[in-house]
Structure 1
Amino acid sequence: MNSTEYPEPKAPFPGSEISSDTEHTVVPAEPPSSSQPLAGPHSHGNFPEGGAQAWLTVSGASACLFVSFGWVNCAGIFQQHYQANQLSAYTPSEVAWIPALQVFFMLFAGCMVGKIFDDYGPSVLLAAGTFLHVFGLMMTSLSTEYYQILLSQAICSALGASMVFFPAFNCASTWFLKKRGAAMGLVAMGSSIGGIIFPVMLIHLIPRVGFAWAIRTCAFLILALLIWANLTVRSRIPPSKRPFRIKAFISPLREVPFVLLTAAVFIFYWGMFVPFTYIVVEARARGMSPDLANYLVVILNAASIVGRTVPNALADRFGHFNMMIAMATLVSVLVLAVWIPASGDAAAIAFSVLFGIASGAGIGLIPVLIAQVSPIQEIGTRTGTYFAIASLAALSGSPIGGAILGSASGASGFRNTKIFSGVTCAVGALLFVATNVALGGWKRAKSAKS
């Protein structure tokens, strides 16, 4: 059953009502004229569902995901390089804070980026983000000390990535309703392609031209793609400047569907990012060759292209929450029933492919779900609130997995880490069901599982 057929929940604030054909878009309670139907800027009929500007925005937004989330997928490459070179005097745990804080700042900054987006639109953010992201990486190429790398890569570059990541999703959402899942899947696909290109570039360039020029080459590619994004990414909804109020970020947390969705993604992300972090380490511990092990992340990201596009397109037909529940359940099953008993190179590669497909929905579908439970004119603030909370899961999930890994020796430590990953993903899937119940009742949830 399609998610747009949900019985309408109560209005998110007094004096408004939910239009049944706008997927929870807030419209005035009274039409401006009794003789004409309401046709405001957020009504169903005003979603173009395509057109030159809409698809140009999708292409530019995909480029933004390529250079932001796609760049973050290089974490394993940097972890290994820094431990062996510039930061060899530091422990692996201390080095790991650099990629962990990079993800954290990219996501946590969304609360402020979202507010700026709602007030001023995407142009200022994209221009500032382009400068900070590229400047941070250029400074990283010159850095030799721990604090220098932390400031340039984990903070400056990450804040710039945040300023292009959030406008990309938010702008694309404003052009589509019926086709939103498919469009957002194409946007999210950019992160998968970036997760393939950047690791391969670094693996081949660092031995040939050195670390500094490898980083600069990546930065020049990022600059070229962000120039295209600055020229193409536009929001259909004009900005509406409002006074800064903390209440704007807190008020969504009084809505049961939004709270349940945030909790679901938080718990799901706790477990979902564990394989991304430890799949190479675990494979090498089992005897896989270093070269092949390094490419497991590339294989996983290549497979996630399917996971970030096909489920989104199917979700437009079968329901966005329905598809997310199915994919979250599949992730937990793969971790518990495939990754734990897996042995041998073939099994590790098979798990990487299947997990990449299943986990792709965790990136591609989530923004669609947020838009479904949010007024479209508040999409920036609400997306920022959600990602600020989710960033804590991205920051803590892998260290928790590492602590579990270190609590036991050998295969037992890896098994316990995998159990943590699989169980938290399963709990996240149950919370997605709970969100579905809150939106449409138990009968609706049963339809989602059938």
Structure 2
Amino acid sequence: MAPSRESRRSSDDSCKYSRSNSRLDLPISAATTTETASRPQNASSASSLSSLNSHAHEPNWPREWRAYMCLLGCFFLMFNSWGLVNAYGTFASYYVGHSLRNSDQLELNLIGSTQSFLVLLFSAPAGRLLDAGHFRVVIGTGAVLVPLGMFMLSLAHPRDENALGNYATIWATQGFLVGLGMACYFVSSSQVAATWFPNRKGLAVGFVACGASIAGVVYPTMTRYLIVSLGFATAVRLVATLVLLTSIFSFIFSSPNPAHSHPKPTSYFAVKTWIDKEAFHNKAFLWFTAAVAFMFFGFYPVFFNLEEWAAVSGYGTRDGSVVPLHIAESTNKPLQTFWLLTIMNGASTVGRLTMAAFSDKTGQLNMHIVSQIVSSLLIFVLWTLAGSTAAAIAFCVLFGIFSGAVIGLPPASMANILSCTYDTPETKALAHSKLGSWTGMMYTMAAIPSLVGPVIVGHLVTQYSTYVTAQVWSGAMLLLSALCMLMSRWNLPCVDGEHVWTKMLRTIGKGSKADRWSEKMSTGNETASEADYSTTVRGISQATTRVPSTSVSQKVSSEKFAKLEPTPEQPERMV
């Protein structure tokens, strides 16, 4: 029997009430999208569905030349942000033997960790400004600060290689000023490129991430040979010139897809403009943010201390002397230590690109978990037991491959979490609009660990006069990060919409219980207990494929649908 006119009116009113009060709409309720500002409010669902359909029909590879010029520009953004951080080990190796030879390892690590701290600290505001469409301001600020900081370093450093430098001025230029500019580059690199490649985000972000590893090959090699032939000051000026030229290219061509929407906040002074509270109700986001924090606790101490470890262990040579640790005698013809860092960064390029390509098929978060576990095992087993130059090179190659995915996949993994969270036609557009803010918040929360981790390792090395402390610390932090990633994956649905725990219940013989719970989740059965229903509401942000629908269907009559209107005692259901 067809529903009466009164039943249909009640049904329509219930749908409107539910949509207007949905928690998913709260974070953007005060925003206006530049492309839809002239459209009526009730057209937002149609706009989201249109955006989803356009992504579904887009080719895997864009046909516009601007997409690939933007990809190259974003590559250079990463080249001049984390690429310079990856190359800091070569600068530290020069400082410890020359201008900062009286400084201990803690102070030397502080310069590099200040860079990474500032990059991560300002990721959230930079990401939000990018979401609002201010990409020119963000990238332009970085294009001024990063080259300026490098040029100022050449002036702050003494010309005589035997003269002592002023630690404060070196930290202020290379650590603080360059770090502020890097913060404008980092989030921009992955977020802007992703707008052109909606169906190949993993590979696009992986290509952009290769900028950091390739810079880790170019900058150490370039700096090393230029210092030998021209001196430190001239070498740094030439490096700054390369930074300036690539930054200009990025400023010109790194612009997002014009079809990408940019929600503009009504007020930049409101807290909700900079912090998306919806993210803190998402367990997968919280666990993954904790994983990234632990990762930065232990990741960069490997790069910052690799050259000094090789020098004092007799597996590498460099100019200058080190103060607190005794350099072992070597009999196996060691190579220059900067080559170890170069090899590690070169191998990282392979890992960033190949694993990012496979992650589009296996799932970005799944690939991230595997690479994280393997990286921690390589530190525990191969690095601690390395007893020759050949073993040191083997560690650099293998760790470089897997660590490339570790450091390069977080933005793609966050996009994976968002796509699993907002996977309905009405909410799919939110997954794209929130990528910058969620990624930025994730990195900002990892800022303190990125600052403290290398400093702690530097203190441990100075206190105990052994790099075993650095190895154990880094391996333990990466392993804890992998465990947190596993918990994040636990709270996300699989490809078929089921959670891992549902499959486990069915596997261990509790299939009927899993089926009953899955049926409750998919049909919105009102006979479910209050506790089960509240758990369902809390799990919506992790498994939107199981969100109870309030639309009229063959399974829900119009009379039953009218009863679904939210009341003060019962949380509203999301459409």
- Normalising by the smaller structure, the TM-score range is 0.7 to 0.9
Change (3 A) 1:159 1:295: same
Contact persistence 2:316–2:389 (CA under 8 A): no
Q: 1:114 aligns to what?
A: 127
Whether 2:175 is the aligned partner of 1:154: answer: yes
Contact persistence 1:309–1:364 (CA under 8 A): no
Change (3 A) 1:85 1:282: closer
Moved more, 311-320 or 349-358: 311-320
Q: Deviations over 1:62-110 (max 9, x none)?
A: 1111111111112112223233433345444333322221221122121
What SS does the corresponding residue of 1:176 show, helix, strand or coil? Answer: coil
Whether 2:297 is the aligned partner of 1:239: answer: no
Whether 2:481 is the aligned partner of 1:437: answer: no
Indicate which of 415, 418, 423 corresponds to 2:471: 418
**Which stretches in structure 1 are left out of the alignment for 5+ residues?**
1-11, 18-26
Alignment TM-score, normalising by the size of structure 1: 0.87
Q: 1:70 aligns to what?
A: 83
Contact persistence 2:105–2:462 (CA under 8 A): no
Q: 1:300 aligns to what?
A: 344
Q: 1:8 aligns to what?
A: none
1:10-409 to 2 correspondence within 5 Å? 14-16=23-25, 32=43, 38-40=49-51, 44-45=55-56, 49=60, 50-51=62-63, 52-144=65-157, 145-236=166-257, 237-242=260-265, 243-244=267-268, 245-247=270-272, 248-249=274-275, 251=277, 252-290=279-317, 291-374=335-418, 375-409=431-465
Letter of the structure 1 residue corresponding to residue 346 of structure 2 = A
Contact persistence 1:60–1:228 (CA under 8 A): yes
Counting aligned pairs with the same residue, the percent is 30
Q: 1:7 aligns to what?
A: none
Q: 1:428 aligns to what?
A: 481
**Which stretches in structure 2 are left out of the alignment for 5+ residues?**
1-20, 27-35, 158-165, 318-334, 419-430, 494-498, 505-575
Per-residue deviation at 1:230? 1.5
How many residue pairs were aligned? 423
Separation in 2, partners of 1:403, 1:114: 33
What SS does the corresponding residue of 2:387 show, helix, strand or coil? Answer: coil
Moved more, 424-433 or 139-148: 139-148
Letter of the structure 2 residue corresponding to residue 442 of structure 1 = V
Moved more, 115-124 or 386-395: 115-124
Q: Deviations over 1:282-324 (max 9, x none)?
A: 2222212314322110000000011100001001111111111
Change (3 A) 1:230 1:253: same
Per-residue deviation at 1:34? 9.8
Change (3 A) 1:435 1:42: farther
Change (3 A) 1:216 1:42: farther
Contact persistence 2:106–2:456 (CA under 8 A): no
Change (3 A) 1:106 1:37: closer
More helix by share: 1
Letter of the structure 2 residue corresponding to residue 273 of structure 1 = Y
What SS does the corresponding residue of 1:283 show, helix, strand or coil? Answer: helix
Separation in 1, partners of 2:42, 2:51: 9
Separation in 2, partners of 1:272, 1:35: 44
Root-mean-square deviation (CA), in Å? 2.8
Contact persistence 1:137–1:157 (CA under 8 A): yes
Whichever of the two has the greater Rg, that structure is 2
Q: 2:562 aligns to what?
A: none
Alignment TM-score, normalising by the size of structure 2: 0.69
Separation in 1, partners of 2:394, 2:125: 40
Contact persistence 2:216–2:345 (CA under 8 A): yes
Q: Deviations over 1:2-58 (max 9, x none)?
A: xxxxxxxxxx961559xxxxxxxxx9xx98499999213786326554232222221
Q: 2:516 aligns to what?
A: none
Letter of the structure 1 residue corresponding to residue 482 of structure 2 = A
Separation in 2, partners of 1:33, 1:142: 55
Separation in 1, partners of 2:287, 2:24: 24
